[in-house]
Amino acid sequence: MFKLRTSKYRHVFCDAPKPDQTWTGFRLSTVTGDQQYIKASGKYFCIALAGGGGSMAIGRLDRPGRFEPGTSAIVSGHTGSVLDFDFNPFDDSMLASASEDTTIKIWQIPEDWEPTDESGNAQGGTSVTESIVDLVGHRKKVTLLRFNPTANNVLASTSADHTVKVWDIENASEISSFDEMGDLAQDIIWDVRGDICATSCKDKKVRMIDGRAGTVATYIDQPHDGSKSVKIAYMGETGKFLTLGASKQSAREIKVWDLKNLSEPLHTEKIDQAAGVLLPLYDNDTNVLYLCGKGDGQVRPFEFEDKAPFLHKMSDGYRSTKPSKGICMVPKRALNIMDCESARLLKLTNSDGVHPLSFTVPRKSDAFQDDIFPDCPCLTPAHTAEEWAAGSSKLPVTMSLDPANAGKAAGGGKKKAFKTVGTLSKELSESEKRVAYLEALLKSNSITFD
């Protein structure tokens, strides 16, 4: 008997953003690679700019408008071009950047950061030129970065020296290093618990690396026959894994794998014959996969189900004549929940700036829709870097998206206060002056001291 499959997200739609909802005026970096070119936190988004010093533009999600080079504040401090960056999932204002100068820098965005005013016009401000932490250890350019989703201040990086390193940024130290990549990494992701770090590589292997030990736990020998870059995604706690690449005939395809048996895929989904690399943006909470492509104008939503055929095409998603250079997903806690916005993607174009793509589930009620908004990860880490390195394995801490309860769970926990070298130098100078004053006071009163 034929049975129609039901889905709460089946009719999700996305309208083209209006011009006053976009960010424009950027002169983008011409550096190419396997990175996403844009990343977002709950407050900001980041893109790399053209020019010296590895410049980056940091835009506020709540302030669309025009960026003006030379006027708007930027973040810069590298001696080479910035290749990739990532926001700390537990601190919306903390950003890590990777550069051709072989270093990784950690930046803190000031609370009063306002590159555009309330009318959307560019306004001047103080640029950030001093990082709070520098991570040095790679011998060649650093290509990709990804923060751990559960452990505080743990960062994974890949480099042209064919290594994958995991860092404790709080202590500016290396936790582990895997030195047998074989070629350039094309993608790097963490599993939902932050235990295993998976990488795809130009040598056509996908390796699942133990982040603590720096050893390969398991691998897929050649997931795709084509020569396009392979992108990867963990499907939450289902034990399934996605690879996105191309067939021998250069047709773009998705393969679903069982992590318990990686000898052959469970399912292969053919997409099309387009040339761009596919980017998977997976929402662990709703099991919706947003399939985007570099150079594509279309975003295809699929719903993942942990049984054959695994992937179900939903609505037509979003279509545009403007191709994307890069795309990223905004954290769920920054969405317009009462408007039933189930996901927001930021699409970076080559000449038209950054476009927000808001995917909405049509509902008539004005009440909070708990069936389409399950709990999502919050700003509180599940464990510290030391606990994680010692073997702690936990799921992300979650919060309710109901506006009546959300504030209770989204506090963010205790944060490490990082200080720049300039701030520490100033504090040291003030302390030395104070010590000199107190010593003079003791001498004037004939009091001896050591």
Q: Which of 154-163, 284-293, 371-380, 429-438 has the lowest mean pLDDT?
A: 429-438
Judged against a pLDDT cut of 80, whether residue 168 lies above it is answered with yes
Mean pLDDT of 236-250: 91
CB 253 within 8 A of CB 245: yes
pLDDT: is 245 or 448 the higher one?
245
Using DSSP's 3-state secondary structure scheme, residue 425 falls into helix
Judged against a pLDDT cut of 80, whether residue 82 lies above it is answered with yes
pLDDT above 70 coverage of the chain, percent? 94
CB 185 within 8 A of CB 158: yes
CB 369 within 8 A of CB 361: yes
Judged against a pLDDT cut of 80, whether residue 206 lies above it is answered with yes
Q: In Å, how far are 185, 189, 332, 368 from 145, measured between CA atoms?
A: 11, 9, 21, 35
Q: Which of 58-67, 189-198, 308-317 has the lowest mean pLDDT?
A: 308-317
Judged against a pLDDT cut of 50, whether residue 14 lies above it is answered with yes
Residues 6+ apart with CB under 8 A from 68: 25, 122
Report pLDDT for 446.
75
Of the pLDDT bands very low, low, confident and very high (cuts 50, 70, 90), residue 7 is: confident
Judged against a pLDDT cut of 90, whether residue 34 lies above it is answered with no
Mean pLDDT of 89-111: 92
Judged against a pLDDT cut of 60, whether residue 360 lies above it is answered with yes
Of the pLDDT bands very low, low, confident and very high (cuts 50, 70, 90), residue 412 is: very low
Judged against a pLDDT cut of 90, whether residue 429 lies above it is answered with no
Of the pLDDT bands very low, low, confident and very high (cuts 50, 70, 90), residue 424 is: low
pLDDT: is 243 or 367 the higher one?
243
Number of residues written out for the chain: 450
Mean pLDDT of 310-337: 89
Of the pLDDT bands very low, low, confident and very high (cuts 50, 70, 90), residue 1 is: very low
Q: In Å, how far are 28, 48, 331, 368, 412 from 404, measured between CA atoms?
A: 40, 37, 19, 9, 17
Report pLDDT for 411.
41
pLDDT above 90 coverage of the chain, percent? 49
Within 10 A of 430 (CB to CB), how many other CB atoms are there?
10
Report pLDDT for 2.
42
Judged against a pLDDT cut of 50, whether residue 156 lies above it is answered with yes
- Please give the mean pLDDT across all residues of the chain: 87
Structure confidence by residue, pLDDT tens digits, 139-155? 999 999 999 999 999 99
Report pLDDT for 182.
84
List alpha helices for 310-420, DSSP H: 385-389, 406-409
Report pLDDT for 44.
93
Judged against a pLDDT cut of 90, whether residue 313 lies above it is answered with no
Report pLDDT for 125.
84
Judged against a pLDDT cut of 60, whether residue 4 lies above it is answered with no
Report pLDDT for 135.
92
**For the chain, the helix, strand and coil percentages under 3-state DSSP, each to the nearest 5:** 10, 40, 55
Report pLDDT for 416.
57
> Residue 248 gets which letter from DSSP?
T
pTM of the model: 0.87
Judged against a pLDDT cut of 60, whether residue 414 lies above it is answered with no
Report pLDDT for 327.
93
Report pLDDT for 234.
93
Report pLDDT for 161.
92
Mean pLDDT of 96-117: 91
Report pLDDT for 312.
87
Mean pLDDT of 174-182: 91
Beta partners for residue 358, in sequence order? 344
Report pLDDT for 410.
43
Mean pLDDT of 249-253: 89
Is the N-terminal amide bond of 280 cis, ω within 30° of 0?
no
Pairwise CA distance, residues 391 & 360, whole Å:
39
Q: Which of 345, 375, 333, 340 is nearest to 361 (CA)?
A: 340
